[in-house]
Each structure stands twice: as structure tokens, then as C-alpha cells.
Structure 1
Amino acid sequence: MSANLMQMWLGQFDRGELDAEDAAASTVAEYEAHIAALERKVGQLTMELDLLKKTPRLRLVNNNDSSSIISGPKPAPSDEDATDRPAA
């Protein structure tokens, strides 16, 4: 809220231009804006939740592969050109 707006409201109040009806209308407008923002957020979160529910869960390990919590899945077999030779 700007200082200029506050000064304008104080001037209106001093002149008797502000009454309870204007103050109530201002409060209602603020509440309606806040409610609209919250409704947009709920809509966004609902769409995200629906998307997450529809997305299949990724399987980290194939059912046919055995794995360990410590070592993870077995490594893929290497090409035929690669051989296990002792280090020279």
C-alpha cells in the first residue's frame, strides 16, 4: 500500500467522505481478490495432482533382473570385442 493512497484516505476521512459502507465495499473487494487467487491456486494444484495420478510410475528395475539395494541392477553385458585380460 502506498503512502499516497494512505494520505488520500486520511484526507477523505477528515472531510467525512469515508463512511462504513465504503470501507465495507473496499474490504469485500479485497476478500474477493484473495479468494480468486486461492481458487486459481487450488485449480493449478488439482491439475498437477491429476497429471501425477495419470503418469505411470517408472520401474527402475525390470522384473526379470535381480538387483541389490547396495549394488543396484546387474551391469549390461559387454561387447564381444571386450575381453577380460590380466593387466600387463
Structure 2
Amino acid sequence: MWLTQFDRGELSNEEAEASVVADYEAKIAALERKVGQLTMELELVKKKPRLRLVSDSENSSIITGPKPAPSDGGAK
């Protein structure tokens, strides 16, 4: 939009440069927010305990503890 205004002579060089600078500042701010978001996500991932890979012969449940007692069939 500002290029069209400049071509028509509606903007001076200073106004055109200010517009470009404002566009760049907005892009920089958006990129800084994204970098902050990704940094926080990375720190969160680093703090989470890593789940170990389970082989095919092992139970892949994340619930730990003793195995449940077998039912005598009375519960319905």
C-alpha cells in the first residue's frame, strides 16, 4: 500500500522509510515472540522425564505397580 502511495507522490522519503521501519519492527516483534515461545517449549521438554523405549516383550503401560489380582468372576 505504501509503495502505491509513494508512486503517486503522496509520501515523502521520510514517511516511506518510517513505514518500512514500522513494518520491520512489527516483523521483528513477531519473530521475538515466536523465539520466546519456542524457548519456553524447549525448556519444558528438557525438564520432562524421558520415557524409555519399551521392547516388544515388555508391557508398554505407563501405569506402574503390582499386577491386579485375578477376578473370581463375581463382579459384574
Structure 1: which 5+ residue stretches go unaligned?
62-68, 82-88
RMSD over equivalenced CA pairs, Å: 3.0
- TM-score scaled to structure 2, two decimals? 0.64
Higher relative contact order (CA 8 A, sep 6+): 2
Equivalences for residues 1-88 of structure 1 within 5 A: 9=5, 14=8, 16-61=9-54, 69=55, 71-73=56-58, 79=70
- TM-score scaled to structure 1, two decimals? 0.56
Identity of aligned residues (%): 60
What amino acid sits opposite 2:11 in the alignment? L
| Larger-Rg structure | 1
Point out the structure with the larger strand share. Answer: 1
Q: Within 1, Cα distance between the matches of 2:22 and 2:45?
A: 35
